[in-house]
Every structure is written in structure tokens, then in C-alpha cells.
């Protein structure tokens, strides 16, 4: 009789049921936070990481163990009534995390070190606070019902997370990460006979260069043998389709998915592929997203140069994903703590790049200095490795394509290449920050040329230094307002830097008003290397001045998600007949809706 009474729960209360409810609620919370959240962040950022998702979770095992231990200890420390409260809170938090990460999602822009305009989301953030406070309050108010229904609610939450992940996969996202690629043996080797070097200085605008010349005319002598194409027209306003336009001369009117365009223009008809097929040694460094299309040739992502060893890469990738996951799944006012002053919460010194152990990083990542983006740090690392390791060997011609980001925002350097303090940056206008940093970027590029001159091969090298598009910061007073009134883009946005030094050229900087574009670069390189290939465009030196030549520019409004969308945003196609800065040269913009054929 005593044994029967001992086995029977007191007052009809079964502690095992409490523990089961608490365990299932903990499961829902941990699955949402520690698996679904990083998996979602991974699917939206595969081009930024080079580690498989399961390996990334494996690299984060300490976080998983600590979370499991914390939940278990809370359950042990709480009495039966306390576990009821905890069960309700965990279930409520799991549901709110799901809603925050899959329903209450907004575009905060690209996390490249630039400041976020938090005020745009203040009202929505206030609504999120109400949702979270109300949701957790309701969970506590109905805790007994939640406790009884915990197993069914947990199953529902797991199915919801699975459905959301499945929806992302059906929409075209995948767990295929970027290829981890480093410097091959030929990266820094040049030919004694003939070379072509294309350096893309991201977002470097022609008007910025014009101001540099006005401020320091000595650049006209330092850029020995170069011609500045003052009227060079970009193809697009942002990077994604601009790099293929440079490498292949091809553009898209958005009538087909953008990845079809990338595949055709890069995999089969780009300079690295064509030149490699003709026996020319190539090396291509750019954004990770282009890697899958250039898999047949030596390709490296800029971010891979923050990796010293596979362990370092896993750590960096884990920090990338966990920071983005926490940001996505946190309410607005916590987001402001997770990403502040261009720095993430997780990571040594608040910087993802600084968490890469064993790698010499070129810039400070902690206050009071302005922080660069990882791509900007990688650009400096690549530049130094190229200069330090440059050699001359053999007669096989070489082609090198280097995509540098020093000239891109965020703005953190002065003209001497020294880091600005946050206090000093706050004293500058945007244009006042763009031009000095552009000087620093140009100096980095010219240092490579100085090394080639020391090796005695600069004369045998075609050098092209170009922006991939114009600047998003207005550098021509009044131009943006005038352009908006005429319903066309400002010249600052469409005039990239284009400096060209042909093989054997010398003398002070020349200036050409020839009607050229970035789509002429592929034909220019092919001609210099003696390769007969029908690249669109014309060799730049063959384009005469003062001869009409219609050029096409595709404009659009960009948001960060377009890196992964099926199509580019709707385009406006302009034809330019004459000088870009002359408003009379521009035709009325023709609308090209997403997925529609030109002329339809």
C-alpha cells in the first residue's frame, strides 16, 4: 500500500509531465534559434562563406553545448511552478523568433561597414516591441494551456521552420557555398614578353579622378603612358552585371534570369575563359558569386584572402552566419546592438575580419578608427602579396583581373592611406570622404605598377584601371537635381574611372573624349594579347574622338537582395548619342520590365 501511494503523483500532479513539456519547449526554442536561424542566414549568404553548413555547425559546437547546458540547468534550478513559467516563455519565444525571422523581415541594406539608417524602421520597430511584449505576456497568461499542448505546439513550430526552409530551397536558394580558393602558383608571375593587367577599383568615378587631378596635378606625370577616357560610360549602376560586362563586353536587358546571363557571359565568353583556352596564363579575383561560372579557370574570391587556414575560414564563416542570423531573428531595437558603427557584436574587436586568427590584417578594426569592410581588408592583402611575390618567368603571356574594393564605401581612409578616426569622418561631407579614399585606392594600384617597372616589364604590359560603375555619392554640384528633373541618371553615377596604358606607351597623362564604354575593355585586352575573338565593343585605342557612336546604359534602383533574385530589378534603357555630360545626348528612357523581351 505504501509503494502504491509513493508511485502516485501528489495532488494528481505528475512531475514527469512537467519535465516532458519543458523539454519539448526547449527543443522548439533551440531548433529555431540554433538550427533554423543559421540555416536561413546561410541560404541567403552562401556566396559569402566557403564552409559547408554542417561543418559550420560543427565549428560552433561550443555554442550548442552551452545553450543545451543553460536550458538544462534552468530546468533543474526551477521548481515545478517555475518550470511552467519557463515552458511558456520558451514556447512563446520560439514562436516569436520564427515570426521575426520569417515574417517580420525588412531590408536593412548591405552590411559592408557603412552606417544603417535605423530611423527608417523606427515605427516598425515599435510595432515589433509590442508584438514581443504582447506575445510573451500572452504566453505567461495561458501557460497552463501551453504546458498541456506543448508537444503539439513544438511539432507545429518545427514543421513551420521546415516549411520556411523548404520554401527558400524551392525559390532557388541552396546550401551550395562559395568555393574556397587561394593564390595559385602563377598568381604573381608575369611574362617578360606580354601581359595584360585589369584592375577594377570598385565604385571609382571619373568625376572623383577629375577632382584628384585638380587638387594634385602631379598625378599627370605619375600616370606615365596612360590615357584617361573622360567620357567612358558604365553599363549598369552596380557591380553584379557590371563585372560580366567588363569581362565579356556583354550586357543583358533583363529578359531572362540574371544567372543565365552570368553563365553565358562568364562561363563561355569571358576573357579568363577565352584567354585560358588560347594558352594565356590567367588569374581572376572578384566577388565570390562569379566563382561558379569561372570554375574552369584560376579564380579566387576576395574574401578568401582573409583565410589563413581552413580552421580560420570556418571561424570567420561561423561568425558571418551567426551575426546575420541573430540580426535577422532579433527585433529592431536589438538589431541596433548587434550591428553598431559598422561592426558586428560577435567577433574580436567587434569585427568579423578581426576574428580571423593568424592572418595579418592591414587596418585597425576597433574604435576610435573607422572600420573597413572585409573586402577592403582583403584588397590590401592581395595587393601586398602581389607586390611581394611578383616574379618574371617564361614567354607565356599573362592576364590578371583584380577587383579591389578600397575605393568603395565605407569611407575610412585619408589620401595617405591612414585610417580616419570616427571623429574625423563625422567632420567630413560624403564627397569630402570619397575623394581622399579614392586617392588611397589609386595609390595602391599604382604601387603594383611601380613593382612591375622595377621588374622591367611595365613597358610590356597593357594596364587598365577602371571603376565598375560610377559613384553613388554625388561629386558634381547640382548634377543630381538636374538629372532627376530630366528623368535620367547623374553623370557621377554613370561615368566610371577608365585609365588605359597600352603596351609600350609612355609620356604624361593624356585625356581622350572618345565615346567609349566599359564593354570595350574585353576587345581591348584581346587585341593587346593578339587573340582573335569576336568580343562585343572595340579596342579603346581604335575609337576616334568627335565621331558619333551610340552607347547604351541600363539604369535601375538596387537593393541588396538582388544579388540572389532571379532577375535584376526593372530596367530603364538609355541611349547616349554624344558626350555623357551633355543632357542633349540622352534619349528618353525606355522601360524594360523584369522578364520582358526588348521591344515587346
DSSP track, 369-438: BPPPPHHHHHHHHHHHHHHHH-EE--S--EEEEEEE-TTSSSP-B-TTSPBPBHHHHHTS-HHHHHHHHH
Report the CATH number that the domain containing residue 259 is assigned in CATH.
3.40.720.10
164 CA to centre of own chain: 24
Domain boundary among 136, 170, 204: 170
Contact 296, 290 (CB under 8 A): no
Contact 320, 306 (CB under 8 A): no
Domain extent for 424: 189-307+359-592
pLDDT at 1 over 80: no
- One domain for residues 216 and 129: no
For residue 597, is it within any domain?
no
Distance CA 341, CA 192 (A): 47
More confident call, 591 vs 565: 591
- One domain for residues 389 and 527: yes
Query: 0.85 cut: is pTM over it?
Result: no
For residue 346, is it within any domain?
no
The CB density around residue 179, as the number of other CB atoms within 10 Å, is 15
Q: What integer pLDDT is reported at residue 349 of this predicted model?
A: 34
More confident call, 278 vs 77: 278
For residue 175, is it within any domain?
no
More confident call, 530 vs 60: 530
Concatenated DSSP letters for 75-129?
Answer: HHHS-HHHHHHHHHHHHHHHHHHHHHHHTS-------SSPPP-GGGGHHHHHHHH
For residue 322, is it within any domain?
no
For residue 275, is it within any domain?
yes
- One domain for residues 271 and 142: no
Distance CA 413, CA 363 (A): 10
More confident call, 67 vs 279: 279
For residue 398, is it within any domain?
yes
pLDDT at 242 over 80: yes
- One domain for residues 142 and 90: yes
- One domain for residues 114 and 230: no
The sign of the dihedral angle between the CA atoms of 364, 368, 370, 374 is positive
Contact 263, 257 (CB under 8 A): no
The sign of the dihedral angle between the CA atoms of 442, 448, 453, 454 is positive
- One domain for residues 266 and 408: yes
Domain boundary among 112, 143, 170: 170
Buried b (16+ CB within 10 A) or exposed e, 380-418: bbbbbebbeebebeeeebbbbbbbbbbbbbbbbbbbebe
More confident call, 515 vs 478: 515
Q: Flag the least confident range among 489-503, 526-540, 558-572, 577-591.
A: 558-572
For 549-569, the pLDDT digits (tens) are 999 999 999 877 777 788 899
pLDDT at 536 over 90: yes
- One domain for residues 406 and 505: yes
- One domain for residues 23 and 153: yes
Collect all residues with Cβ–Cβ distance below 8 Å to 47 and sequence separation of at least 6.
Answer: 178, 287, 288, 289, 563, 564
Report phi then psi at 481, rounded to 5.
-65, -45
For 81-139, the pLDDT digits (tens) are 666 778 778 888 889 888 889 998 888 877 766 667 788 888 888 888 898 888 888 87
Q: What integer pLDDT is reported at residue 44 of this predicted model?
A: 86
Collect all residues with Cβ–Cβ distance below 8 Å to 263 and sequence separation of at least 6.
Answer: 293
Domain boundary among 170, 205, 220: 170
For residue 471, is it within any domain?
yes
- One domain for residues 146 and 203: no
Buried b (16+ CB within 10 A) or exposed e, 555-569: bbebeeebbbbebbb
- One domain for residues 201 and 244: yes
179 pLDDT band, cuts 50/70/90, is low
In the three-class reduction of DSSP (H, G, I as helix; E, B as strand; rest coil), residue 299 is classed as: strand
- One domain for residues 46 and 101: yes
Q: How many domains does the chain have?
A: 2
For 188-227, the pLDDT digits (tens) are 999 999 999 999 999 999 999 999 999 999 999 999 999 9
Q: What integer pLDDT is reported at residue 25 of this predicted model?
A: 80
356 pLDDT band, cuts 50/70/90, is very low
- One domain for residues 153 and 18: yes
Amino acid at each position: 500500500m505504501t509503494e502504491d501511494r509513493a508511485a502516485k503523483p501528489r495532488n494528481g500532479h505528475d512531475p514527469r509531465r512537467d519535465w516532458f513539456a519543458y523539454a519539448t519547449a526547449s527543443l522548439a526554442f533551440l531548433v529555431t534559434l540554433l538550427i533554423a536561424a543559421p540555416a536561413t542566414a546561410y541560404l541567403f549568404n552562401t556566396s559569402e562563406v566557403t564552409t559547408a553548413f554542417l561543418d559550420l555547425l560543427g565549428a560552433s559546437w561550443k555554442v550548442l553545448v552551452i545553450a543545451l547546458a543553460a536550458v538544462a540547468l534552468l530546468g533543474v534550478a526551477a521548481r515545478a511552478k517555475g518550470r511552467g513559467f519557463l515552458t511558456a516563455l520558451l514556447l512563446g519565444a520560439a514562436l516569436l523568433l520564427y515570426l521575426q525571422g520569417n515574417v517580420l523581415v525588412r531590408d536593412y541594406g548591405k552590411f559592408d561597414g557603412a552606417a544603417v539608417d535605423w530611423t527608417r524602421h523606427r515605427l516598425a520597430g515599435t510595432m515589433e516591441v509590442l508584438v514581443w511584449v504582447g506575445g510573451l505576456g500572452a504566453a505567461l497568461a495561458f501557460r497552463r494551456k501551453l504546458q498541456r499542448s506543448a508537444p503539439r505546439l513544438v511539432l507545429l513550430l518545427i514543421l513551420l521552420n521546415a516549411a520556411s526552409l523548404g520554401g527558400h530551397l524551392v525559390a532557388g536558394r541552396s546550401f551550395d557555398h562559395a568555393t574556397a580558393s587561394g593564390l595559385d602558383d602563377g598568381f604573381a608571375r608575369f611574362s617578360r614578353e606580354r601581359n595584360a593587367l585589369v584592375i577594377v577599383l570598385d565604385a571609382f568615378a571619373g568625376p572623383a579622378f577629375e577632382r584628384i587631378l585638380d587638387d594634385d596635378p602631379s598625378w599627370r606625370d605619375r600616370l606615365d603612358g596612360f590615357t584617361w577616357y573622360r567620357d567612358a560610360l558604365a553599363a549598369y549602376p552596380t557591380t553584379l552585371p557590371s563585372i560580366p560586362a567588363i569581362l565579356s563586353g556583354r550586357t543583358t536587358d533583363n529578359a531572362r534570369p540574371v544567372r543565365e546571363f552570368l553563365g553565358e557571359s562568364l562561363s563561355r565568353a569571358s576573357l579568363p575563359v577565352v584567354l585560358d583556352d588560347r594558352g594565356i596564363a590567367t588569374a581572376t579575383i572578384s566577388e565570390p558569386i562569379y566563382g561558379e561560372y569561372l570554375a574552369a579557370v584560376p579564380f579566387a574570391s576576395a574574401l578568401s584572402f582573409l583565410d589563413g587556414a581552413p580552421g580560420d575560414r570556418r571561424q570567420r564563416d561561423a561568425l558571418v552566419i551567426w551575426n546575420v542570423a541573430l540580426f535577422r531573428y532579433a527585433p529592431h531595437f536589438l538589431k541596433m546592438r548587434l550591428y553598431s558603427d559598422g561592426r558586428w557584436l560577435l567577433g574580436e574587436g567587434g569585427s568579423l575580419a578581426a576574428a580571423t586568427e593568424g592572418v595579418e590584417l592591414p587596418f585597425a578594426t576597433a574604435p576610435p578608427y573607422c572600420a573597413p569592410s572585409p573586402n577592403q581588408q582583403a584588397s590590401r592583402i592581395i595587393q601586398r602579396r602581389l607586390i611581394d611575390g611578383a616574379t618574371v618567368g617564361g614567354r607565356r603571356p599573362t592576364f590578371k583581373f583584380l577587383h579591389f574594393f578600397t575605393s568603395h564605401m565605407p569611407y575610412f581612409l585619408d589620401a595617405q592611406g591612414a585610417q580616419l578616426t570616427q571623429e574625423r569622418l563625422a567632420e567630413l561631407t560624403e564627397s569630402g570622404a570619397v575623394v581622399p579614399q579614392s586617392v588611397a585606392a589609386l595609390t595602391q594600384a599604382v604601387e603594383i605598377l611601380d613593382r612591375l617597372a622595377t621588374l622591367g616589364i611595365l613597358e610590356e604590359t597593357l594596364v587598365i584601371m577602371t571603376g565598375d560603375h560610377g559613384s553613388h555619392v554625388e561629386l558634381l554640384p547640382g548634377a543630381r537635381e538636374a538629372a532627376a528633373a530630366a528623368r535620367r541618371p547623374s553623370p557621377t553615377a554613370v561615368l566610371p574611372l577608365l585609365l588605359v596604358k597600352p603596351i609600350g606607351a609612355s609620356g604624361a597623362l593624356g585625356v581622350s573624349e572618345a565615346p567609349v564604354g566599359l564593354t570595350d575593355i574585353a576587345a581591348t585586352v584581346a587585341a593587346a594579347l593578339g587573340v582573335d575573338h569576336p568580343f562585343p565593343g572595340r579596342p579603346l585605342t581604335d575609337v576616334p574622338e568627335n565621331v558619333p557612336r551610340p552607347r547604351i546604359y541600363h539604369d535601375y534602383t538596387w537593393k541588396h537582395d538582388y544579388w540572389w533574385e532571379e532577375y535584376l530589378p526593372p530596367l530603364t534603357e538609355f541611349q547616349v548619342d554624344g558626350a555623357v555630360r551633355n543632357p542633349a545626348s540622352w534619349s528618353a528612357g525606355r522601360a524594360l520590365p523584369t522578364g520582358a523581351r526588348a521591344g515587346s
